[in-house]
Amino acid sequence: MNSHKDLIVWQKAMSFVEDIYGLTKKFPEEEKYGLTAQLRRASVSIPSNISEGAARNSKKEFEHFLYIGLGSVAEIETQLELARRLNYVTFSTVETQLQNITEIRRMIQGLIGHLISNKD
């Protein structure tokens, strides 16, 4: 790997961020500093932590940042469910995004597994 940009999980996470920004544009204005901001921050956190971890000095540090990214994945799942319950998005929209975030989670977990099995 020459750069974090070479990681497919980073690429998918970046696309997911774009999806979340598009989705939250449709949220009510009163959510601008609430759920909209939370979802956007959590989604940006995923590729940000992947890239920061990849730039670190050790596999252990990379692993640490990947776990932070997994925390953001869990936040997003909760926030999407809340958006659905508040009728800001449809069930099918949430399902599509949950499928995307599930794929990203699996990829992050796979990368963590790879790092663990190939310790320094």
Q: For residues 110 and 120, what is the distance between their CA atoms, to the nearest angstrom?
A: 17
Angle at 116 between CA 53 and CA 3, to 5 degrees: 35
**Which pLDDT score is estimated for 119?**
73
Q: Record the tokens describing residue 14, joined without a space.
A: 């970046």
Percent of the chain with pLDDT over 90: 94
Identify which of 59, 60, 76, 61 has the alpha carbon closest to the alpha carbon of residue 13: 76
Q: Average pLDDT for residues 37-54, to the nearest whole number?
A: 97
- 54-108: pLDDT as tens digits: 999 899 999 999 999 999 999 999 999 999 999 999 999 999 999 999 999 999 9
**Which pLDDT score is estimated for 79?**
97
Q: N- to C-terminal Cα distance for the chain?
A: 16
Say whether pLDDT at 46 is over 90. yes
Identify which of 102, 83, 78 has the alpha carbon closest to the alpha carbon of residue 93: 83
Q: For residues 94 and 90, what is the distance between their CA atoms, to the nearest angstrom?
A: 6
* Confidence band, pLDDT 50/70/90 cuts, at residue 118: confident
